[in-house]
Amino acid sequence: MIKFILFISIYLSTSVLLSQKGDTLFISSIYKEALTKGESYENLRKLCKDIGNRLSGSAAAQMAVEWGKNTMINYGFDSVYLQKIMVPHWDRGTTERAWIQVEKEQISLNILALGGSVSTNGLMNGDVIEFASLNELKKATAAQVQGKIVFINQHMADEEINTFKAYGGCSSIRLKGAIEAGKLGAKAVLIRSLGLAIDDHPHTGVMSYDSSVKKIPAAALSTQDADFLSLKLKSNKLKITLEMNCKTLEDEPSYNVIAEMRGNKSHKEIITFGGHLDSWDTGEGAHDDGAGVVHCMEALRILKKLNYSPQHTLRVVLFMNEENGNMGGKGYANFSSARGEKQIAALESDRGGFAPRGFSCDGNPNQVKFLETLASFFKPYELHVFEKGYGGVDIGPLKNQFPGIPLFGFVPDSQRYFDFHHTPNDVFENVNKRELELGAAAISSFIYLLDQNL
């Protein structure tokens, strides 16, 4: 009996070792394909340069849907199709300007309306009142704020090592600034852009209103202009003049773009992975989230190129409307559930096309432990983050429809992300080819390991 157990355990550990060796070799061929014959960079160039930025509801977003569909049809995946959803349609309009008068000089400020803002209805003019943070604004009285233009100059925390943490600690000024300023009777709200660098690119992004509070216009100042305005306010009372003719239109039909390789063993068990096809309406949506889109298309392309025969159905979803509504993410979870599918894992890439650091898991302790067991496969590729953490906005709704599903987030280096995020500077030229390709290779390898081990 003991001999038999010994035999079995040697047999098992040998076969585990053999299978690990096979995995290691296969991952090596994934990386080689991505780095020497990769298509992610050229795909990103097309998305950024031939289409450009692509806010939900825009003509460019529809072009991106067609591009994603056609590119994946050309890759010859088992099936490629569109899933219809309805998306909000906000339009920046044609005018967006702000200035202050300092003595005899009129000085322009560099602004971008926040996504979802109402217009100023022509020129709007008011005294500026500065607050160092959203909390300081909340402590103010209506008497102080009434009829003024509120300027929230809260800084993202430079001392945070991970920039997403710095962003998380500050993003409420964008999400809630108009509500809090509106409650106190402000005319409009300007926020310091959510970025760590001091530069001249304002950062847009979604804001929100509360139905019980008057809607006021909201825009972001570049960090440089926020510093400038703050400096000027130290020695002057200032009025700002503001004009923005952005507006919210009727909801529009749009689509998630879906492509898959059918599973051989259990094709009704789905591993979903994707990024979002929509972007803000400035720059080219290169890091946010063109990178995630081409990462995931490339991850599946490579598996097909290497003649990989998946056990479960591997499905890429290019989600629409992550930026201002998440209708794609919600719609996809409902769609999959309605079809009676079983979602066994999902991954999202939506943190830019930078050098890979690892993967995070939004899941239970066993799922996190499983993630940790994958770390050794990625050590030769300089990935080291394998820990509990966030999945992604688009795959988030899967949790409601498929309780217990592990959600994984691709984790690239975060240092440069908020230099580009939601700015005119988020362009193709700011994505490094190798960093992008290494991301695609890491994701392709990860999806392979999920398929092998789930």
Q: 162 or 266, CB closer to its own copies?
A: 162
User: Mind spelling out the 3-state secondary structure of 395-436?
Assistant: CCCHHHHCCCCCEEEEEECCCCHHHHCCCCCCCHHHCCHHHH
CB of 353 to its own copies, least distance (A): 11
Phi, psi of 447 (to 5 degrees): -65, -40
CB of 381 to its own copies, least distance (A): 5
Q: How far apart are CA 56 and CA 278, in angstroms?
A: 6
CB of 438 to its own copies, least distance (A): 7
Q: 57 or 353, CB closer to its own copies?
A: 353
Pairing, β 247-261 against β 105-109: unpaired
Q: 92 or 421, CB closer to its own copies?
A: 421
Question: Would you tell me which residues interact with its own copies (CB under 8 A)?
Answer: 31-32, 35-36, 158-159, 161-163, 196-197, 355, 357, 380-382, 384-385, 413, 415-416, 419, 432-435, 438
- Which candidate, 312, 321, 301, places its Cα nearest to that of 256? 321
Do 79 and 257 touch, CB atoms closer than 8 A? no
To the nearest 10°, the Cα dihedral for 52, 297, 397, 391? -100
CB of 197 to its own copies, least distance (A): 7
CB of 443 to its own copies, least distance (A): 15
CB of 137 to its own copies, least distance (A): 23
Helix (H, G, I), strand (E, B) or coil at 330: helix
Q: How far apart are CA 396 and CA 322, in angstroms?
A: 11
CB of 109 to its own copies, least distance (A): 23
Do 131 and 173 touch, CB atoms closer than 8 A? no
The helix, strand and coil proportions of the chain, stated in percent and rounded to the nearest 5, come to 40, 25, 35
Q: 345 or 438, CB closer to its own copies?
A: 438
* Chain centre to alpha carbon of residue 369: 26
